[in-house]
Amino acid sequence: MSNSQLTPGIVPARLPAASYEANFADHTPPLDRHEAQVAADRCYFCHDAPCMTACPTSIDIPLFIRQIATGTPDAAAKTILSQNIMGGMCARVCPTETLCEEVCVREVAEGKPVEIGRLQRFATDTLMARGVHPFTRAAATGKRVAVVGAGPAGLACAHRLAMKGHEVTVLERRPKAGGLNEYGIATYKSTHDFAAREVDWLLKIGGITLKTGVTLGKDIALADLLADYDAVFLGIGLAGVNALRAAGEDLPGVENAVDFIAGLRQAADRSGVAVGRDVVVIGGGMTAVDAAVQSKLLGAENVTIVYRRGKEKMSASGYEQEHATQTGVRIIYGAAPVKVTGGARAEAVEFAYTQDSPEGLKLLGEGFTLKADQVFKAIGQTLAGVPEGLTVAAGKLPKRAGDKLWCGGDCALGGEDLTVTAVAEGRDAAEEIHAALTGAAG
């Protein structure tokens, strides 16, 4: 039985039925053809484009925008997808405001960048709507590769390997493929089952066998995969959740934000998702913002994010912080939880103000208490389910973990908890695997 079921203050259907469809509609509606043309015309098509450098997947942004401007969105989509096969989802969830659009010449000069993310979505959606897959497989190599984890890194790796002519088997512990895209993104950022539709489209390359409900270390051993396949890629993500290390965090009503977001993502009827009246979210990343905003959209009356450091250190972008406050979420900076109080369930959270010093974060003698019937922990995720024998450094796996073993995405050193970065790492690992298996370059 979940904490939500045990806690009377957390209930479903806080809003009229009609409100849910409006609240969880597409947060950033797509551009139509005319709007895309107008947006594309703002691009200077820079020769040494800073936006390309800022893109983790190095998409040729000036080229694809020029292709949109000249009326060839399918060509634009192929330009995007050749570098980022999950360009459709990245167009929806990438923090473009801190990546490509932040360094756009138009942003620097005028304070308004070219809408690169929306243009990318226009191109990729146009192609996908036609059911077209723009890539074909190379001749079969006879090599077999196992990919563990069907998140952005694993799927990008699998697609690139299949395109190179290898046979790929993808093993996923959850019922659906997609990883973070399927289970960890705010519902209003990816509507109409887009994550699942993108996976189905990606698999059209052929040569990929997807097996869900398979857990590494339980249903299959890493040693067996290494013995049975020519190479193995681990894109297992971060399945653990950091603890608050505060008294009372085991009380009913205290939940992991990632579980709440996943439950909402999979809910057929959002009015059936329970939410508290007074919600407190502890953390400063995108998970915290997504949990807080969606709590408000579900009908919570008071929603507060509390982050232990200053606003400038909050990993959620300024755009996302502003979106949260515009939705009615309050953000308190410079405070850390010390105790969740209550009897049979959570009723409040006690916080201490903090000071960020050269010696680290210090708790001050003063603090405050927030009423809370639902508390979400969003203070980061940890590596879990690591196969025996693998070396873990700084809480992550090495990108090259053995002669036949590669790792990528959030589980690996250098992962940045971004879909686009995970895609880049999966793609690059596939190129390395292909070179190792065939002796080919790239």
The pLDDT confidence band at residue 417, using thresholds 50, 70 and 90, is confident
Domain ranges of the chain: 33-129, 144-239+383-438, 241-377
- CB atoms under 10 Å from CB of 428, counted, come to 18
Q: Does pLDDT of 321 surpass 70?
A: yes
pLDDT over 90 percentage in the chain:
93
Average pLDDT over residues 265-288: 97
Query: What is the overall mean pLDDT for the chain?
Result: 95
pLDDT level of residue 9 (50, 70, 90 thresholds):
confident
Same fold, 33-129 and 241-377: no
Q: How far apart are CA 427 and CA 420, in angstroms?
A: 11
Q: Which of 139, 372, 187 is nearest to 278 (CA)?
A: 372
Q: How confident is the model at residue 441 (pLDDT cuts 50, 70, 90)?
A: low
Q: Which fold has domain 33-129?
A: Fumarate Reductase Iron-sulfur Protein; Chain B, domain 2 (1.10.1060)
How many Å apart are CA 214 and CA 220, to the nearest integer?
7
> Do the Cβ atoms of 180 and 189 come closer than 8 Å?
no
β-bridge mates for residue 148, sequence order: 171, 234
- Burial class from Cβ neighbours inside 10 Å (0-12, 13-18, 19+) for residue 326 reads exposed
Strand 302-307 to 278-282 pairing: parallel
Return the sign of the alpha-carbon dihedral for residues 273, 214, 395, 184.
Answer: negative
State the pLDDT at residue 388: 87
The label of the residue with tokens 């190129």 reads: 431
Q: What is the CA radius of gyration of the chain?
A: 22
Residues 88 and 82: beta-carbon distance below 8 Å: no
H-only helix segments in 286-408: 286-297, 318-327
Note the pLDDT of residue 6: 44
C-beta atoms surrounding 1 within 10 Å = 6
Per-residue pLDDT at 102:
96
Q: What is the CATH number of domain 144-239+383-438?
A: 3.50.50.60
How many Å apart are CA 85 and CA 312, to the nearest integer? 32
- pLDDT of 440 higher than 80: no
327-376 per-position pLDDT tens digit? 999 999 999 999 999 999 999 999 999 999 888 899 999 999 999 999 99
Contacts of 34 (CB under 8 A, 6+ apart): none
- The pLDDT of 177-203, averaged and rounded, is 97
Q: Can you give the pLDDT at residue 8?
A: 60
Rounded Cα distance between 162 and 41, Å, is 36
Distance from C-alpha of 158 to C-alpha of 430, rounded to nearest angstrom: 7
* Fold of the domain spanning 241-377: FAD/NAD(P)-binding domain (3.50.50)
Bridge partners, residue 357, by sequence: 360
Give the count of beta carbons closer than 10 Å to the beta carbon of residue 336.
22
Span 42-83, pLDDT tens digits: 999 999 999 999 999 999 999 999 999 999 999 999 999 999
Cα separation, 360 vs 2, in Å, equals 36
pLDDT of residue 2: 47
